[in-house]
Amino acid sequence: MNKFTIEESTPQHANPLLLNRRHWLKAATGVIAAVSSLRAQSEVAVSLPLQLSINENPFGPSAKAIDAMQQTMARSYRYPHAQAQQLIDAISKKENVPTDHILLGVGSGEILLAAGRYFGEKKGEVIAAVPGYTQLIDAMKSAGGSAVLVPVNDQWQHDLDAMATKISEKTSCIYLCNPNNPTATVCDTAKLTAFVIEAAKKVPVFIDEAYLECADDFAERTLVGLVTAGHDVIVSRTFSKIYGLAGLRIGYAVAKPSLLAPIKELMTGNPNLLGMVAAHASLLDHDYCERTRLQIKAGRDAVNSVLQQLGRKFTASQTNFVFFHTGIPIDRFQELMKKEQIHVARPFPPMLDWCRITIGLPDEMKLINQALRKILS
Ligand SMILES: Cc1ncc(COP(=O)(O)O)c(C=O)c1O
């Protein structure tokens, strides 16, 4: 249990039973903002077991996002049409694309699933890296398509040269995840751009940039510019990672309207009011994004230095997780970590003696590093 709970810390005068709704909301806003800033300062006691298997961002959400949700909660009886438009306007400004080039999703996962279904119904192939993120690929397969999986190269990056050789008349789309999950690596931007421009002349290219803002020089790495330049490219982004809003389920895609339209037709969800106001406020909170990126990087550097001391191979992570060689079958390693109260990610074939672990809060990182020393020494 966290040592800091709302019940324990709510001042006596803020007893909800004694206050009207407006005062209670105001008091609750203060408490929740305090929890958030405490999380950011890592004064929250570690809560065991550590859930470090699904790449959540424990530094989030930003206090401004929480404040925006608090301000909006009482209006939850309204449909969120205006807030959807405001969020689209803000994304359009951020990405420098027209508003009709933006599609909101219930997480970027909803967009990946719909895109997978759309391309799968064409009964063709998706070319993708292995190991990689499989949401679009799995959806494509269940809709009747198939996958051509290209192993990552010796730097655990997408092997773009090998992928280029796989494009054929059977290809329906190419899926690239940059930075890649689970290998955590980025592609060289110039090489990736050249590959995508060529490939998109033949088939649409889907670029999943879920972890982009965790990368050191993320602003230069996005391929949204290729959309504006008119290429057949779909870029997806999410508020689940750097913005720490995974539970609110908001993501978006950027592409030309003719590419977005058939994907949109297959989507059934609607992003919710609180998620959209939180996402909008997060976009405007530049300090938070930068601070969180640096906190994640500090956690990453700490694990990498332990792995280096232990003589283990690890990839050049540009994400909120690290991927490293255990030398132990991953099933066994998962069990050993579980005994230390730490949940790490599932196996990622064919790299079955490698492990993916998410960056946690600084106190959590101390426990991770202790466990790694104990198991891998
Ligand atoms: C590479 C990648 N893309 C997309 C997603 C989907 O995230 P969400 O649906 O929360 O936006 C994830 C989730 O972990 C991911 O790792």
- In this structure, the number of other CB atoms found within 10 A of the CB of residue 221 comes to 20
- pLDDT tens by residue, 119-178: 999 999 999 999 999 999 999 999 999 999 999 999 999 999 999 999 999 999 999 999
Bridge partners (DSSP) listed for residue 46: none
187 plus 199 within the same structural domain? yes
Supply the residue whose CA is at minimum distance from atom 6 of ligand 1: 109
For residues 377 and 363, give the distance between their C-alpha atoms in angstroms, rounded to a whole number.
Answer: 21
225 plus 325 within the same structural domain? no
- pLDDT tens by residue, 228-243: 999 999 999 999 999 9
Residue 28 has pLDDT above 90, yes or no: no
pLDDT, residue 286, reads: 84
84 plus 200 within the same structural domain? yes
pLDDT, residue 44, reads: 56
Ligand 1 center from residue 108 Cα (angstroms): 6
For residue 238, give the ligand 1 atom closest to its CA: 11
- How many domains does the chain fold into? 2
Q: What is the CATH number of the domain that holds 157?
A: 3.40.640.10
Ligand 1 center from residue 266 Cα (angstroms): 18
Measured torsion, CA atoms of residues 21, 25, 26, 31, in degrees rounded to the nearest 10: 140
Q: Ligand 1 pocket test: which of 54, 113, 130, 133 has the largest number of ligand atoms within 8 Å of its C-beta? A: 133
pLDDT, residue 310, reads: 97
Section 100-117 average pLDDT = 98
AA identity, residue 235: V
pLDDT band at 5 (very low <50, low <70, confident <90, very high): very low
Residue 294 has pLDDT above 70, yes or no: yes
- pLDDT tens by residue, 170-203: 999 999 999 999 999 999 999 999 999 999 999 9
188 plus 211 within the same structural domain? yes
Residue 33 resides in a domain? no
Q: Identify the three-state secondary structure at position 91.
A: helix
Residue 28 resides in a domain? no
253 plus 304 within the same structural domain? no
For residue 108, give the ligand 1 atom closest to its CA: 11
Q: Identify the three-state secondary structure at position 22.
A: helix
Q: Ligand 1 pocket test: which of 52, 236, 239, 240 has the largest number of ligand atoms within 8 Å of its C-beta? A: 240
Q: For the chain, what is the mean pLDDT?
A: 90
Residue 19 resides in a domain? no
Its pTM stands at: 0.89
Supply the residue whose CA is at minimum distance from atom 3 of ligand 1: 210
Q: Are 138 and 165 in contact (CB under 8 A)?
A: no
193 plus 312 within the same structural domain? no
Q: Measuring from each residue's beta carbon to the nearest atom of ligand 1, which residues come in under 6 Å?
A: 55, 107-109, 112, 133, 177, 181, 208, 210, 238, 240, 246, 251
For residue 241, give the ligand 1 atom closest to its CA: 10
Ligand 1 center from residue 211 Cα (angstroms): 8
318 plus 261 within the same structural domain? no
For residue 110, give the ligand 1 atom closest to its CA: 9
139 plus 155 within the same structural domain? yes
Residue 7 has pLDDT above 50, yes or no: no
For residue 181, give the ligand 1 atom closest to its CA: 1
- pLDDT tens by residue, 67-101: 999 999 999 999 999 999 999 999 999 999 999 99
Residue 334 resides in a domain? yes
Q: 244 is in which domain, residue-wise?
A: 73-284
Ligand 1 center from residue 74 Cα (angstroms): 30
- The fraction of the chain above a pLDDT of 70, given in percent, is 88
236 plus 296 within the same structural domain? no
pLDDT band at 10 (very low <50, low <70, confident <90, very high): very low
Q: Are 181 and 201 in contact (CB under 8 A)?
A: no
pLDDT band at 2 (very low <50, low <70, confident <90, very high): very low
